[in-house]
């Protein structure tokens, strides 16, 4: 039997239980069967952050880029601090966590496309796209299945405030940095058959000649007559 945990003021806890009632002020009443202290420091948490729990389907195989595991999911259910309760709409969430977190790395390396996950983490929005810094995730099922085509609806329950984004290590900035460093496809020009044939000897001779013509001295038309040698006179 698990020991009974008594939370104190300002503790950040994780509660497992059943929802019994949701009041008009969006206060959720839970019949808890387990309570766990996360030991998070409240002073280190970012301001105006939104933490959520979402259920989604893994779109692609997780990959490691820049020391982070990237997990892209299609989610239909959200529960967040600023969402006003449960939200139902289909959208994509780019999730990531550092590869040094062993308990998450082991699951990311074994996850397969089509698996259903429950992800808990800190949410961020940038240019209409949702990003999540994963704190914890678990498998609902590992069975692969084809994802149906979805219609994305705007996330109207969260504001995109660029002035408060001071963390350059956020999931969205990491992903944009990786995209900028990806090499672009260059255009390949294939030469024709005529261009691939070797040049003729006449072309090589003409190419080897100097480009500027030099003035040559024309040959003289006058014929030189051979000089006759006179015989020497002998003395008597």
Can you spell out the DSSP letters for 208-229?
Answer: HS-SS----PPPP-PPPPPPPP
Q: Given a cut of 70, is residue 57 above it in pLDDT? A: yes
In CATH, the architecture of 46-158+170-176 is Beta Barrel (2.40)
pLDDT at site 203:
54
Answer yes or no: are the C-beta atoms of 84 and 27 closer than 8 Å.
no
Confidence of residue 166 (pLDDT cuts 50, 70, 90): very low
pLDDT at site 193:
52
Backbone angles phi, psi at 200, to 5 degrees: -75, 160
Q: Which of 87-91, 113-117, 183-187 has the lowest mean pLDDT?
A: 183-187
Q: Given a cut of 60, is residue 117 above it in pLDDT? A: yes
Q: Which of 34-38, 126-130, 216-220 has the lowest mean pLDDT?
A: 216-220
Backbone angles phi, psi at 203, to 5 degrees: -70, -40
Domain residue ranges of the chain, discontinuous segments joined by +: 1-44, 46-158+170-176
Tokens of 101: 């977190």
212-216 long-range contacts, CB within 8 A, separation 24+: none
pLDDT at site 159:
37
Q: Which of 17-26, 57-66, 140-149 has the lowest mean pLDDT?
A: 140-149
Higher pLDDT: 57 or 84? It is 57
Q: Which of 124-133, 149-158, 170-179 has the lowest mean pLDDT?
A: 149-158
Mean pLDDT, the chain, whole residue set = 66
Mean pLDDT, rounded, for 44-56:
65
Confidence of residue 19 (pLDDT cuts 50, 70, 90): confident
Q: Quick one: 136 exposed, middle or buried, by C-beta within 10 A (0-12, 13-18, 19+)?
A: middle
List the Cα angle 147/142/94 in 5-degree steps.
55
What is the C-alpha to C-alpha distance for residues 91 and 97, in angstroms, rounded to an integer? 20
Higher pLDDT: 15 or 68? It is 68
What is the C-alpha to C-alpha distance for residues 28 and 24, in angstroms, rounded to an integer? 10
Q: Given a cut of 80, is residue 165 above it in pLDDT? A: no
Q: Given a cut of 50, is residue 39 above it in pLDDT? A: yes
Confidence of residue 144 (pLDDT cuts 50, 70, 90): very low
pLDDT 10s digits, 169-211 = 666 776 766 666 555 544 445 555 555 555 555 555 555 555 5
List the Cα angle 98/104/107 in 5-degree steps.
130
């Amino acid at each position: 039997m698990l020991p009974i945990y008594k939370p104190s003021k300002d503790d950040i806890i994780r509660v497992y239980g059943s929802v019994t009632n949701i009041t008009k002020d969006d206060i959720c009443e839970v019949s808890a069967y387990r309570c766990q202290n996360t030991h998070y420091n409240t002073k280190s948490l970012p301001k105006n952050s939104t933490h959520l729990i979402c259920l989604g389907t893994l779109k692609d195989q997780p990959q490691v880029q820049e020391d982070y595991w990237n997990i892209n999911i299609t989610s239909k259910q959200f529960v967040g601090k600023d969402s006003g309760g449960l939200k139902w709409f289909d959208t994509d969430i780019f999730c990531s966590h550092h590869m040094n977190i062993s308990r998450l790395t082991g699951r990311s390396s074994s996850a397969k496309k089509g698996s259903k996950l429950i992800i808990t983490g800190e949410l961020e929005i940038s240019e209409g796209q949702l990003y999540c810094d994963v704190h914890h995730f678990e498998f609902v099922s590992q069975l692969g299945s084809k994802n149906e085509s979805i219609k994305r609806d705007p996330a109207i329950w969260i504001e995109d405030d660029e002035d408060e984004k001071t963390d350059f290590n956020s999931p969205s900035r990491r992903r944009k940095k990786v995209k900028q460093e990806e090499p672009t496809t260059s255009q390949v020009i294939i030469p024709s058959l005529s261009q691939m044939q070797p040049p003729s000897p006449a072309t090589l001779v003409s190419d080897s000649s100097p480009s500027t013509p030099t003035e040559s001295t024309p040959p003289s038309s006058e014929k030189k007559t051979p000089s006759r040698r006179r015989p020497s006179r002998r003395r008597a």
